[in-house]
Structure 1
Amino acid sequence: MPRMSKPIPYPPPGLKTLLLASMSPKVAATKGAATKHKFVIDYSKPAADGVFDGADFEKFLHDRIKVEGKAGQLGENVKVVRDGNTKITVTSSIPFSKRYLKYLTKKFLKKNSLRDWIRVVASSKDNYQLRFYNIAGAGDEEEED
């Protein structure tokens, strides 16, 4: 069996430099560059029929949205504003999920027993729209013998 003339040093040269470079502290982003998220929930169709109350929905969102694990304490980070009787705008200066708004909207509909008639549809990248299910054609069909 041939013998190696020099043993391989442990740790290999350059490993210490590699480890130190990968463990260097990361540079944090500045707070001035915080992204703003603006989401709109349009409930004009159900409100026009009188089955949806925008003021209750606004209060529900204000009480249920969690910021840093605490519900109802929005502070300056999240703002919930009702625009007339057609839209609610949620503006956030912290990371905020559009999907979370859909979850809360569906929860509100279920609480008010409206989930069987109204659905939440994404109409654009930052908008949701409440629409009635399309059930007009269900009872109009005639059976043929």
Structure 2
Amino acid sequence: MPNVQKTVVKKSHKFVIDCTAPAGKIVDVAAFEKYLHDRIKVDNKVSNLGSNVVISKDKSKIIINTTIPFSKRYLKYLTKKFLKFKQIRDFLRVVATTKNTYELRYFNIGDSESQE
């Protein structure tokens, strides 16, 4: 039987967290990037990113590139935890806009008051 070489293709995933609306006003994007860098777990260890997970910042967006299986829901969890840590969870919410993108939006408080 001839030797068959298996080629393993690593899928890369790209996730984006868009902080455009509250950037500069409420949310410090650099602090959020550092928070993610310090809190993301790889192989059940914190700050074990290596070359598997790359976090970068582009103005008011945070881009996470991974070569390992990674959950988008985990990013939402960490984002909500960061908002709670900064005590701004009451003003912002995390909304999925596309398959690989989350966006921070303000709650629509004015609309609910006019309906009552």
Q: Give the number of aligned pairs.
A: 111
Structure 1's consecutive aligned runs of 4 or more residues displaced over 3 angstroms after TM superposition are 138-142
Which digits, 9 at most, give the CA deviation of each residue in 1:8-41, with x for residues without a partner?
xxxxxxxxxxxxxxxxxxxxx743x111000000
Give the Cα separation in 1 of the matches to 2:88 and 2:50: 30
Q: TM-score, normalised by structure 1?
A: 0.72
CA shift digits 1:77-110 (9 cap, x unpaired) = 00000001x1000000000000000000000001
Secondary structure, aligned partner of 1:46 = coil
Counterpart for residue 82 of structure 1: 57
Is residue 2:20 matched to residue 1:44? yes
Aligned pair 1:101/2:75, yes or no? yes
Alpha-carbon distance in 2 for matches of 1:141, 1:96:
41
Greater strand proportion: 2
1:108-119 equivalences under 5 Å are 108-119=82-93
* 1:42 partner amino acid: D
TM-score, L = length of structure 2: 0.90
Identical columns (%): 53
User: Which residues in structure 2 correspond to 1:1-145 (within 5 Å)?
Assistant: 30-31=7-8, 33-48=9-24, 50-84=25-59, 86-140=60-114
For structure 2, which runs of at least 5 residues remain unmatched after alignment? 1-5
Q: CA deviation at 1:141?
A: 6.1
Structure ranking higher on relative contact order (CA contacts 8 Å, 6+ apart): 2
Aligned mates of 2:69, 2:41 — CA distance in 1: 12
Q: How big is the alpha-carbon RMSD for the aligned residues of Structure 1 and Structure 2? A: 1.5
Structure 1, unmatched stretches of 5+, are 1-28
- Code of the residue aligned with 1:78 in structure 2: it is V
